[in-house]
Chains A and B, each alone.
Chain A
Amino acid sequence: MSNKIRFISQDHLITRQNQAEKEFLAAFAEKKPAFEQPLVVPNPYLINPLCALVMFSTKDAVAPTVTIHGKRYERENISHTFKAATDHFLPVLGLYEDFANKVTVSLPDGRSITLTINTEKLPADVCRCLNIQASLDYLQDNIMFLTPAGKNLPTAYDYKGDIRWLLTENTMFDIKRVANGNIITGSSRFCHMPYNATGLIEINLLGKIHKEFRLPGNYHHDHFEMEDGNLLALTQDFTRETVEDMCVLIDRNTGDILKTWDYRKVLPMDVGGSGSQDAHDWFHNNAVWYDKKTNSLTLSGRHQDAVINLDYETGDLNWVIGDPEGWPKELVDKYFFTPVGDLSKFDWQYEQHACVVCPDGDIMCFDNGQYRAKVKEKYIKNQDNFSRGVRYRIDTDKMEIEQVWQYGKERGQEFFSAYICNVEYYAEGHYMIHSGGIGRENGYASDSLGAFLDMEDPKNELRSITVEEKDGVVLYELETEGNFYRAEKLPLYHDGDNLVLGDGALLGSLEVTEEFDTVPDAEEVFELPSSFHNIFIEEDEDRFVFHGKFEKGTLVMLCLENEAESHNYFINTAAVIHLAMCSGAFLEKDDRDVKIHVSKKGLHGIFKIKLIINEKKYQTGVTICCP
């Protein structure tokens, strides 16, 4: 292989994890380790360096307890008692990095052993805690999970700001614990710019992927577990001219799409636009919440400054929360609310994220507030602006709205996030407000989204601030480096099965990638492209990703060829302006670097990859196998 082309063909992470699990289970079966000499596997599922698996057998079924000792004193210990069994596979979670961790395993008969599990230092670019105000009394056994908004990693911090959990895969967007105790979050597998991944993954906290739910329209931003276990997920149809305007219901067992909601059917696309709207990303759906009481979906559309509510069964529009300026009168009269109560404290939300329906029907969201107006002349600069968590009480009979709580306005630009972020409702008066998209230039709120800031410039900084407030008192505040899409407070262990053995599964399907039906005239040459193009091809089981560098204006086409057929994919080398960049995970520093994902769905056979660059068709020497 020439050094001008790099090629990696790797099994899906699920396959590699399945293999790793088979190997440690085989070692366990062979050794049948006794309690006194357990088998310890650090990072058993390859992507969480702060965990281990302790395995041993006992003659009788007993319920062991694992205790991860605190770094400082006993009160910091994290303990969990597992179900009774004779073969024990005990997840050890929450190890400190670069530390000789003491882990005690004890049995009900009084026997115990203390192991030392050493960990390495985490990568240098991990986002560190800068400030934390928290107490063990308040946080108890919870830690704060933050999901990345860039090339940083999903990370969780304890009450001292120590990192106790981290995945080395850049999984993205929402993170929620589901009823069985697992976590569902976005896959790290690139599909489409700016930030669309193949789908959702269901993992445990060891990092084992139980299922990947692939979607033809990919996954972005948010999902929601229904009572029956099925999943709502935000997606789109890439065969259309618009994006981020659909929601689907996914069968939890098969990955099949059971139902689709298309907002184009209920909303005009060319009215009520926020400062970030364009015709392509007209709605920018960044949150979904199902409310059983009203059997409805509440959805946040950043680019219409609107939180909307749809009937779950029919998909019909019920109401819109948002500044009505610029919307047609007939829609305002029918669907919009009139503010009531203390209007001196009332503000509409703008470019909001993460809508939540409270138990009493109130609506909360993170009001990013970018532009904070509907018309250009009234736009507010970010450094004069504020972001906040807000709670509205709505009366859908009178179509009235009252602001009943907010946190953040008083902090001004220091707490301002132009994008991402979330709020959580814990109980009446007890909330989390996560401002994870703070970007500053020279100390002022930047006019650019965090993902676009040049972090090699020392005048720029990215920050994430997570606050918890109870009855008006701030009881928790975490400030970290970097931008983080969402925060979710969780204990490391739960009452269900913390580890279920068995193969993980790849469900659902990717799209058939759109081909280009015209092929430019090009002279085929039997040479590789210049090393300037830095060609890199990553093959996975169900798709491949082509990376290359091209000057703007270059004509580039990727060609898959064998004796019987050819498939051609146009690669856009034009400058693309992104008005939203809720995750910069796939963003390249050099805008000449482009990548294209090609799904193997619909392709059968072995294909040579060739590359048209302007008037020549080059070889790559790479063949792709499509089963």
Chain B
Amino acid sequence: MITEITEKEYGALDHAAPKLIEFYSKTCGPCKMLSFVLKDINKHKPDFPIYIIDFDENRELKEQLGVKGFPTMLFFKDGKEISRLEGLKQKPAIIKAIDALL
């Protein structure tokens, strides 16, 4: 399940649940590519929540989470950031980070 959210909606998420938060930009080629990678992962893990957030329009949240660039993927569990991947990554690296949450 891939859902686009804003920083306001981020506050309302179930923070205990494992999840992937991706910061992207519409002006970023690697982010566009990553969107296809995440769609592919979603086909294999349809129940795992993936949230995507526009880096440029949600600046408070990206400051709060220490996100410096895009694409950046944050992997959360029990309200804590367990790992992060910066830049475009292929499926195996992302699946490995997801599996570490489950």
Instruction: Mark A residues whose CB is within 8 Å of B.
Output: 516-521, 550, 552-557, 570-574, 614
Q: Which residues of A contact B33 (CB under 8 A)?
A: 516, 518, 520, 555, 557, 570
Q: With A and B bound together, what is the CA distance between A614 and B26 in angstroms? A: 12
A574–B32 Cα distance when bound, in Å, is 11
Chain B, 1-56, CB within 8 A of any chain A CB: 25-30, 32-33, 36-37, 40
Bound complex: CA of A517 vs CA of B36, how far in Å? 11
| A516 touching B90, Cβ below 8 Å | yes
A573–B29 CB distance below 8 A: yes
Report which B residues bind A (CB closer than 8 A). Answer: 25-30, 32-33, 36-37, 40, 88, 90-91
**Known contacts being A516-B90, A517-B90, A518-B91, is A552 close to B36, with CB within 8 Å?**
no
- Alpha-carbon distance A610/B58, docked complex (angstroms): 36
Q: Which residues of B contact A555 (CB under 8 A)?
A: 29, 32-33
Contact of B91 among A517, A552, A571 (CB under 8 A): A517
Chain B residues near A614: list those with CB within 8 A: 32
In the complex with contacts A553-B29, A555-B33, A570-B88 CB distance below 8 A: yes
18 example contacts (A-B, Cβ-Cβ < 8 A) are as follows: A516-B33, A516-B90, A517-B91, A518-B90, A520-B33, A520-B36, A521-B36, A553-B25, A553-B27, A553-B28, A554-B29, A555-B29, A555-B33, A557-B33, A570-B88, A573-B29, A574-B29, A614-B32
Smallest Cβ-Cβ distance to A515: which chain B residue: B90
Closest 7 A/B residue pairs (Cβ):
A555-B32, A553-B27, A573-B29, A520-B36, A518-B37, A518-B40, A555-B29
Chain A residues near B25 (CB-CB < 8 A): 553
* Residue of B29, B40, B88 with highest tally of chain A CB at under 10 A: B29
* Cβ A572 vs Cβ B30 within 8 A: yes
Q: Tell me what chain A mostly uses at the interface: helix, strand, loop, or mixed.
A: loop
**A557-B33 Cα distance, complex, nearest whole Å:** 9
Contacts of A518 in B (CB 8 A): 33, 36-37, 40, 90-91
Residues of A within 8 A of B36 (CB): 518-521
Residues on B with beta carbons closer than 8 Å to the beta carbon of A574: 28-30
Residue of A nearest to B69 (CB): A574
> Contacts of B91 on A, CB cut-off 8 Å?
517-518
Distance, CA A518 to CA B40, complexed state (A): 7
CB distance from B29 to the nearest CB of A (A): 4
Minimum CB–CB distance for A279 against chain B, Å: 9
A301 to B68, CA, bound (A): 26
How long is the Cα–Cα vector from A520 to B33 in the complex, in angstroms? Answer: 7
A376 to chain B, nearest CB (A): 17
Nearest B residue (CB) for A552? B27
A60 CB, min distance to chain B CBs, angstroms: 69
Q: Are the CB atoms of B90 and A572 closer together than 8 Å?
A: no
Q: Is the CB of B26 within 8 A of A553?
A: yes
Give every chain A residue within 8 A of B30 (Cβ-Cβ): 570, 572, 574
Whole-angstrom distance from the CB of A594 to the nearest CB of chain B? 10
Chain B nearest CB from A519 CB (Å) reads: 8
Cα(A555)–Cα(B30), bound, Å: 7
Q: Complex formed: what's the CA distance from A573 to B29 in Å?
A: 6
CB of B90 within 8 A of CB of A553, answer no
Expressed in whole angstroms, the Cα–Cα distance for A310 and B91 within the complex equals 37
List of A residues within 8 angstroms of B29 by Cβ: 550, 552-556, 571-574
Which residues on the A side are within 8 Å of B27 (C-beta)? 552-553
CA distance A554 to B32 in the complex (A): 8
**Chain B residues with CB below 8 A from A573, complex form:** 29
Cα distance, A517 to B44, chains bound together (Å) = 14
CB neighbours (8 Å) of B90 from chain A are 516-518
Q: Quick one: closest A residue to B32, CB to CB? A: A555
**Could you say which residues of chain A place their CB within 8 Å of the CB of B88?**
570, 572
A520 touches which of B26, B28, B32 (Cβ 8 Å): B32
Nearest-Cβ distance from residue A196 to partner chain B, whole angstroms: 18
Q: How far is the CB of A575 from chain B (nearest CB, A)?
A: 9
Cα(A518)–Cα(B27), bound, Å: 20
By beta carbon, the residue of chain B nearest A522 is B36
Which one of A516, A517, A519, A553 contacts B32 once the chains associate, using CB atoms below 8 Å?
Answer: A553
12 additional contacts (CB under 8 A) given A518-B36, A550-B29, A552-B29: A517-B91, A518-B33, A519-B36, A520-B36, A553-B28, A555-B29, A555-B32, A555-B33, A570-B88, A573-B29, A574-B28, A574-B29
